Amino acid sequence: METRRLGRLGHQSTVLIYGAASLATVTQDVADRSVQEALDAGINHFDVAASYGDAELRLGPLVPAMRDRIFLATKTGRREVDNAWAEINRSLERLRTDHVDLIQMHAVGDLDELDKVTGRGGSLEAALRAREEGLAGGIGITGHGHEAPATHLEALRRFAFDTVLTPLNHALTRQPGYLAAFDALAAETRRQDAGLMIIKSGARRNWPGEEKPFTTWYEPLQQQEYIDATVAWVLSRPGVVGIATPSDVRLLANFVQAEQNRERWSVPDAEAVLDRDAQYSSPFIAMPI
């Protein structure tokens, strides 16, 4: 699997990043098999969060045996320094490691949330302490919603975040100003040599009803042709390091196959396929609370 440099952190991350939110509600046996599937595919970057249900607990028993082979990232969604510090240490315990390679400020999708993180007594202070004490390597920021790219650009003006995890897919570019905001963010990450990673590449739309056969909070793309198209399209964007795989273990194989197929795709061909789906739309039109 192709690797790309994760900005100034220097890690050669695989273009598929294991989205460990997929482990939130599965058994340990399922988690074991899914993580092995990722390792067998060559994935070397694992991303989890304190708020992803039991995901850290499912990943934790597997970490010691593979710790020296993977880049390990987690996230804190707390906004106050003391609460964030406690959550970071709890994550280390759950992950059975004495350090993570990246601690990310989680779910910062608008300026109000960014103010809480970067203000006096905010969670960024806890991340800085974790880095100073060797509990974390880099410090990143993540977020959802239509304002995320613009918010993350402002975040980079306030602090030299090592990485950004932001949403992108072809449907989102139909939102007014979204692509321009994303391109401005991508340009700034390149200027600062920060690693740019993508979430929601596999989103199709909001769930149309109560039935939700996947554990993703959005309805995912399911047909291999569409998954091939979105992976090829997102990884063609300048500056993108990698894509976090969706939060359902059953979709991992589709994304691995799409990564293998992507050289066959041109950007216009990928867009033409995705545009055939009349229901393809932003997953942020109606986000869950």
Which residue(s) pair with 17 in the sheet? 244
Rounded mean pLDDT, 114-134: 98
CA within 13 Å, CB half, 10:
1
Mean pLDDT of the chain: 98
Convert the pLDDT of each residue in 232-248 to its tens digit: 999 999 999 999 999 99
Check whether 289 has a pLDDT greater than 70.
Answer: no
Convert the pLDDT of each residue in 245-262 to its tens digit: 999 999 999 999 999 999
Convert the pLDDT of each residue in 141-167 to its tens digit: 999 999 999 999 999 999 999 999 999
Convert the pLDDT of each residue in 29-68 to its tens digit: 999 999 999 999 999 999 999 999 999 999 999 999 999 9
Residue 200 has phi, psi (to 5 degrees) of 70, 20
Convert the pLDDT of each residue in 175-201 to its tens digit: 999 999 999 999 999 999 999 999 999
**How high is the pLDDT of residue 166?**
98
**How high is the pLDDT of residue 287?**
80
Check whether 113 has a pLDDT greater than 80.
Answer: yes
Cβ–Cβ < 8 Å for 54, 23: yes
Cβ–Cβ < 8 Å for 231, 201: yes
Residue 213 has phi, psi (to 5 degrees) of -75, -10
Q: Is 54 helix (H, G, I), strand (E, B) or coil?
A: coil
Q: Which domains does the chain have, with CATH numbers?
A: 3-275 (3.20.20.100)
Site of tokens 């980079």: 156
The model's pTM is 0.98
